[in-house]
Amino acid sequence: MFESRDSEYLNLLRGASVIRVMLVHLGLSWFYPPFSYYIGVFLPILFFVSGAVSFENYLRKPFGIYFTKRITGLWIPFFQLAVPVVLIFSARQLKADPASLVSWFLLWPDRSLFPFPIAQIWFINVLLLLVIISAPIFPFLYRSRTTWFAAGLACYCFLTLIFNSSDVVSVFSASQIVTALRLPKQLHQTFALAQFFFLGALYYKKPNQVPKIFLAVLCLITLLPGLYLSCLNSGCKNVPAAIDGRSANYILLAYAVIFALLLGRDMLLHLINRITLFKSLLLFASRNSYSLFLLHPLVLFLIERGLNMKNLSGNYLLAIIRLILVVSITMFLSIPYSALTRLISKYVSKIWVRG
């Protein structure tokens, strides 16, 4: 079970991670290439936090309630935005074949149905797949010894370091069903990022039993080879492909970041608690994380079209103005959007209980 400091820290990490995602989509990763591309190694923090929170919910609730709440918790906010948009702009393009229907339930509909870029839904789809995978794995984690599960996770990590994206995608592409659902690359993402999801669950099973010296050692043995591989792949053209392909250096650096954040928890909490406004911002982003994640591409699209702010390369002042506008408007809209999501979720939960 979480201690109060654990819960607070995870909320702050989630809030910071969502803000990072928004800033990356607004150009942060292009600020100082190739080094700024490596901001992508912080993405697995979201999966780490999701795994920790999911396992905590699994421990607190009967399995059926845990599973349905996690699934509907991903479905409702997405359908709340996607269904009205698609019905308004692309109703005639909708298909009723089995693959198309299943893809909606997997939160992976055809992105061409949307009038604005919605590439970020890959994260939601992968998270849904991980929640489904957690159904048989969480009971095993709960009943097994921590050391055995940690050993299995280490072996899985080793596999993800060996196989590159093209190898994994080719395996999944061999299935006609997977190809029909446009999932080969998504299953590769799931293959690579699942380790961070289950690392979060494993660590917060018994967080106080992990010595800091052990975290420091893990940080070093992942950071050093990660940096070495990154130096071999330091060309501007190679780094984005390595990040997007979840290469070995990406995985190692992501582990190093997570271990460093766990090691520095107390220091970071002390620092953030002294900056009240910054802490409030992170907690706000955490409470409205899904809404911020879904809404910011739409807000960005409207501002780029409405204010002619699409191509701003070299114009740093307008880029900063665009960033402030998108973040501010998205945060404002996330409040009613999250409130509506909670209202619908509460209603759906009552139906599940009655059923």
Whole-number Å distance between alpha carbons of 45 and 180: 31
The rounded percent of the chain whose pLDDT value lies above 70 is 95
Q: What is the model's pLDDT at position 1?
A: 64
Whole-number Å distance between alpha carbons of 37 and 30: 7
User: In this predicted model, what pLDDT tens digit does every residue of 60-70 receive, in sequence order?
Assistant: 888 888 888 89
Residue 337 has pLDDT above 80, yes or no: yes
DSSP state of 46: H
Contact residues for 93 (Cβ-Cβ < 8 A; gap 6+): 112, 113
The answer to whether the bond into 240 is cis (omega within 30° of 0) is: no
Q: What is the model's pLDDT at position 155?
A: 95
Number of domain units in the chain = 1
The tokens of 49 are what?
């936090």
Say what the alpha-carbon torsion angle 218, 156, 50, 26 is, to the nearest 10 degrees: 80
Q: What is the model's pLDDT at position 4?
A: 80
Whole-number Å distance between alpha carbons of 81 and 77: 7
Instruction: Please tell me the least confidently modeled range out of 190-194, 285-289, 290-294, 350-354.
Output: 350-354
Residue 34 has pLDDT above 80, yes or no: no
Range of the domain at 195: 4-354
The tokens of 25 are what?
């989509």
Q: Is 315 helix (H, G, I), strand (E, B) or coil?
A: coil
Rg (CA), the chain: 20
Q: What is the model's pLDDT at position 242?
A: 72
Ordered DSSP codes for 66-87: HHHHHHHHHHHHHHHHHHHHHH
Contact residues for 207 (Cβ-Cβ < 8 A; gap 6+): 3, 6
- Which of 346, 329, 266, 330 has the alpha carbon at shortest distance from 293? 330
Residue 233 has pLDDT above 70, yes or no: no
The tokens of 269 are what?
């909490």
CB burial of residue 51 (10 Å; 0-12, 13-18, 19+): buried
The residue whose two tokens read 């190093």 is: 256
The tokens of 141 are what?
């984690």
Residue 13 has pLDDT above 70, yes or no: yes
Whole-number Å distance between alpha carbons of 48 and 196: 5
Q: What is the model's pLDDT at position 350?
A: 72
Q: What is the model's pLDDT at position 352?
A: 64
Residue 244 has pLDDT above 80, yes or no: no
The rounded percent of the chain whose pLDDT value lies above 90 is 64
Q: What is the model's pLDDT at position 237?
A: 56
Q: Between the CA of residue 1 and those of 77, 108, 117, 283, what are the distances in Å?
A: 27, 33, 39, 21
Q: What is the model's pLDDT at position 234?
A: 57
Whole-number Å distance between alpha carbons of 187 and 182: 10
Contact residues for 6 (Cβ-Cβ < 8 A; gap 6+): 204, 207
Q: Between the CA of residue 103 and those of 72, 96, 185, 202, 246, what are the distances in Å?
A: 15, 11, 14, 30, 24
Please state, rounded to an integer, the average pLDDT across all residues of the chain.
89
User: In this predicted model, what pLDDT tens digit does every residue of 170-229 receive, in sequence order?
Assistant: 999 999 999 999 999 999 999 999 999 999 999 998 877 788 999 999 999 999 999 888
